[in-house]
Structure 1
């Protein structure tokens, strides 16, 4: 039966392949070695951050508070990206009469259906196994637009999970005019940074050899945990880009901003995200700092060479986005 599931996947029948594997795993007499193979099969294409974000209590609390503030009794909610089903269940718990949530990965969709049923919300939450841009208003939403859109398709740089094109499409086709969106807005925040982590230091002499030419192969962009030791902000934060997630149309953009140094060595620029969760004062931010915690990492872009700055020195930073990614440069 597992071989049949594998064959179904090769013919793009992912949903039946997943259902068959789930049925096999429910067998208490299943061979343990085969169970490991099936679990590995189901986890293909499932990023491990799906499990990381569920342990991010501040993130979960921010979404729960926003949904409690925005959801009105009887609302019809559309969610993009089901994941574990936790946001859909939060919306239902907050009073939504119906939640339609879409998830393109069949393994994730199947697990979410089980989670939702186990928690008693199967009568109000419907998981559609498709990408959001393939949702059909008549087929999947019974011809009625949703009263609220919620999603968490937000990457470390805010945009790389395609939040802007997904929202643009959903707002235009599937959402009632003027319907609220959670999160309501998002910003890319930046600051000058001194990154002294070992992996960020240029190579020099190693074992008696000069390896400095190898530095040109080092990655320009690195992630950093928000509380990473050795990462020090060297300026106040500036909002480089700000997005209304209920926007009907987005365009690529470019800004040059003047970052005023607090003084000291500057190795590059760091970016993180800020979210206006509900348009009513609830926010979330993964600003780097010693006590910070977030499942989202900050992103450090290294300058070609470190620079020494005095307090008040201006360093110009150019930022661009194409609605799907961001790039930062020393101007």
Structure 2
């Protein structure tokens, strides 16, 4: 195949030019040519070429955008509506027309709210052209096409004047250009430009202002997503020491967005009160500051290691600060019901605005009632933090950057997996059972530490790795642990395969996303090596299973289910657009860290697939019907999705990325925190009884690198 980088080929590697949808909002009805696109091969982890729709990237952006999640956010919608009503009322009381500018309108919801509240003129801009097209159709569907002017441009491209996009400057701005960091989507430049070029001096902005809060905490659980620990066995002996440069590395300042309200309250100590670190005046009364550093002193609430801050923000929606939208975790949320069994379930849920964790470049041990200082830094798009006390001072507060390579090479999920002491102790125990001083080991995964640990127990270890960055990290470990019996190999030769007494593969390939990716990469490699291996070769792990069960999510389904109506407006056209985009670009199963998304089990776990690595086959298929949990008598229950996870067998032990063994209809599922599970969200919630079942159809083709599983509820005839 000729992979010359023609203009057409380059077009499919970047965000394509978007074609207008002339005849229908359904993406699936748009006729397009096809192009080659790079996609990840689940068997090798490498990028291969595949044929996709020409506008594949665009559809993926539509399918995975948080538009639907926001539309399901009732609190957000109602507070925007009330703030708009007050702003328009205030303009009218002053004898002025209410001229509204909506920046980043998306579906047009905020503009329609402004129209309903009595705005005299409304101009909405939306740079993402498929959404601008969709917005126009939604406005027409709701009878508002003649009241709202939609401009398919960025706000920074808008013009004002008789021949411009706006006839005159607006006196009300409504916008939602915020992310988990508040300013990560360019809010500072958006507001700054709007006040200079698009708004009147005495305008009203919805929201009016914002405050970022930070709270200093000690949290060993979250620290496992950040710092690499020594590898320790069941007897608490250090098997593998982490190189000092990795322990001392300041890591990076990248935000770690997370559903903090789902973090077990017993897993962290609050060392400070919530500190208001940055205030943002969106109203234009004070200039926007694109770079600043703020020092705030506080007295430690209790003794502990200041390892990080938990961060969130509040929006003051109106000019008087009476309408507040808070993204605080439950223990600091103004609307929480602390008397509830699960207080976190009593505050609004949202996935588009979560909380964030920022790790300090250096942790500081604080004593109760002693003073310390939090240094908060901000540039145009991001935040970072330092912690100081009397003994710990920094000469400068530059943005932290990884100096060891580990944090640039591996994701936080991968680092957390490597720090999973329960899992690693089971692996080490199994290695001790199968290895001896004369063993020759072949390690299939250079993204793991198990090959390094095996070198302490075996004669020779071959590690399959050809990435320079990974090799550099592995060599750092070898030097720090005086390991000299490892050979790194870019490919596995017949000679090396024939020598191996033990094959190990910690199933944590850094390219893996879904639960079956590591399974397929491991099994495919073993399948290719099978004719060359000794008949007595040991496999660690020796087998893998994929399990699934029906569940009832509390909130996660909101990222996928149709909106239908939002605050009284018909959003069916948007639902059609998103569904069509998903059919083209999205898999049926998403990878999610389910510990952040509460759900109840609605059926016993079912094994879908078993792969014995000593007897790997080219293709696996499975079909079955499975029971729903039988509620007492004929009590109704509900199912809105399925969860899927992996279980690896290590002799008599098992390493599961799924739920804890105790599952009951009336209790939340407790999920493994160090891995992602796969989720299939149903288009609608099914009300079920003991008469219902669910079924699945699975195909795992190791020869072609194809995996698919279809799961659905069987409705009674």
Report the TM-score range of the alignment, normalised by the length of the smaller protein.
0.7 to 0.9
Residue 232 (structure 1) shift: 5.3
2:74 corresponds to 1:52: no
Partner of 2:192: 168
- Among 210, 220, 224, which residue is 2:258 paired with? 224
Query: What is the CA–CA distance in structure 2 between the aligned matches of 1:250 and 1:329, rounded to whole Å?
Result: 23
Q: How does 1:247-266 map to 2 (within 5 A)?
A: 247=284, 249-251=287-289, 252-265=291-304, 266=306
Residue 273 (structure 1) shift: 0.8
Tell me: CA distance 1:300–1:100, structure 2 relative to 1, closer, same or farther (3 Å): same
State the SS of the aligned residue for 1:171.
helix
Query: What is the CA–CA distance in structure 2 between the aligned matches of 1:19 and 1:27, rounded to whole Å?
Result: 9
Please identify, of 311-320 and 177-186, the stretch whose mean Cα deviation from structure 2 is larger. Answer: 311-320
Residue 23 (structure 1) shift: 6.5
Gaps of 5+ in 1: 1-5
- Among 87, 91, 94, which residue is 2:110 paired with? 87
Partner of 1:186: 210
- Among 222, 240, 251, which residue is 1:209 paired with? 240
Tell me: CA distance 1:201–1:13, structure 2 relative to 1, closer, same or farther (3 Å): closer
Partner of 2:456: none
**Deviations along 1:72-131, whole A, 9 cap, x unmatched?**
365110011111211111111111122111111111211222222222221111211001
Partner of 2:124: 101
Partner of 1:234: 271
For the 8 Å contact 1:223–1:299, the answer to whether it is kept is yes
State the SS of the aligned residue for 1:179.
strand
Query: What is the CA–CA distance in structure 2 between the aligned matches of 1:243 and 1:18, rounded to whole Å?
Result: 37
Query: What is the CA–CA distance in structure 1 between the aligned matches of 2:16 and 2:379, rounded to whole Å?
Result: 33
TM-score in terms of structure 1 length: 0.83
Tell me: CA distance 1:129–1:78, structure 2 relative to 1, closer, same or farther (3 Å): same
Please identify, of 292-301 and 36-45, the stretch whose mean Cα deviation from structure 2 is larger. Answer: 36-45
2:79 corresponds to 1:62: yes
Tell me: CA distance 1:312–1:202, structure 2 relative to 1, closer, same or farther (3 Å): farther
Tell me: CA distance 1:232–1:117, structure 2 relative to 1, closer, same or farther (3 Å): farther
- Among 230, 249, 268, which residue is 2:308 paired with? 268
Tell me: CA distance 1:140–1:203, structure 2 relative to 1, closer, same or farther (3 Å): farther
State the SS of the aligned residue for 1:227.
helix
Query: What is the CA–CA distance in structure 2 between the aligned matches of 1:200 and 1:23, rounded to whole Å?
Result: 44
Tell me: CA distance 1:301–1:288, structure 2 relative to 1, closer, same or farther (3 Å): same
2:387 corresponds to 1:330: yes
For the 8 Å contact 2:364–2:387, the answer to whether it is kept is no
Partner of 1:287: 328
Tell me: CA distance 1:23–1:159, structure 2 relative to 1, closer, same or farther (3 Å): closer
Partner of 2:548: none
Residue 317 (structure 1) shift: 1.4
Query: What is the CA–CA distance in structure 2 between the aligned matches of 1:319 and 1:145, rounded to whole Å?
Result: 35
Tell me: CA distance 1:149–1:203, structure 2 relative to 1, closer, same or farther (3 Å): same
Query: What is the CA–CA distance in structure 2 between the aligned matches of 1:42 and 1:304, rounded to whole Å?
Result: 37
Higher relative contact order (Cα pairs below 8 Å, separated by 6+ residues): 1
Query: What is the CA–CA distance in structure 1 between the aligned matches of 2:268 and 2:139, rounded to whole Å?
Result: 40
2:21 corresponds to 1:19: yes
Please identify, of 159-168 and 177-186, the stretch whose mean Cα deviation from structure 2 is larger. Answer: 159-168
Partner of 2:369: 312
Structure with higher helix content: 1
Tell me: CA distance 1:58–1:24, structure 2 relative to 1, closer, same or farther (3 Å): closer
**Deviations along 1:130-167, whole A, 9 cap, x unmatched?**
01010001244443111200110012122111112111
Partner of 2:148: 125
**Deviations along 1:239-274, whole A, 9 cap, x unmatched?**
111111022632322111123322143321122111
State the SS of the aligned residue for 1:164.
helix
Residue 45 (structure 1) shift: 4.0
**Deviations along 1:220-243, whole A, 9 cap, x unmatched?**
542221413145543211111111
Tell me: CA distance 1:289–1:42, structure 2 relative to 1, closer, same or farther (3 Å): same
Tell me: CA distance 1:12–1:210, structure 2 relative to 1, closer, same or farther (3 Å): closer
Query: What is the CA–CA distance in structure 1 between the aligned matches of 2:274 and 2:15, rounded to whole Å?
Result: 46
Tell me: CA distance 1:12–1:152, structure 2 relative to 1, closer, same or farther (3 Å): closer
RMSD: 3.3
Q: How many residues align?
A: 321
For the 8 Å contact 1:80–1:102, the answer to whether it is kept is yes
Query: What is the CA–CA distance in structure 2 between the aligned matches of 1:201 and 1:21, rounded to whole Å?
Result: 53
Structure of higher CA gyration radius: 2
Tell me: CA distance 1:299–1:259, structure 2 relative to 1, closer, same or farther (3 Å): farther
**Deviations along 1:275-308, whole A, 9 cap, x unmatched?**
1111121111111226243331222111245444
Tell me: CA distance 1:48–1:193, structure 2 relative to 1, closer, same or farther (3 Å): farther
Query: What is the CA–CA distance in structure 1 between the aligned matches of 2:299 and 2:281, rounded to whole Å?
Result: 27
Gaps of 5+ in 2: 1-7, 35-51, 234-238, 332-343, 389-717
Partner of 1:3: none
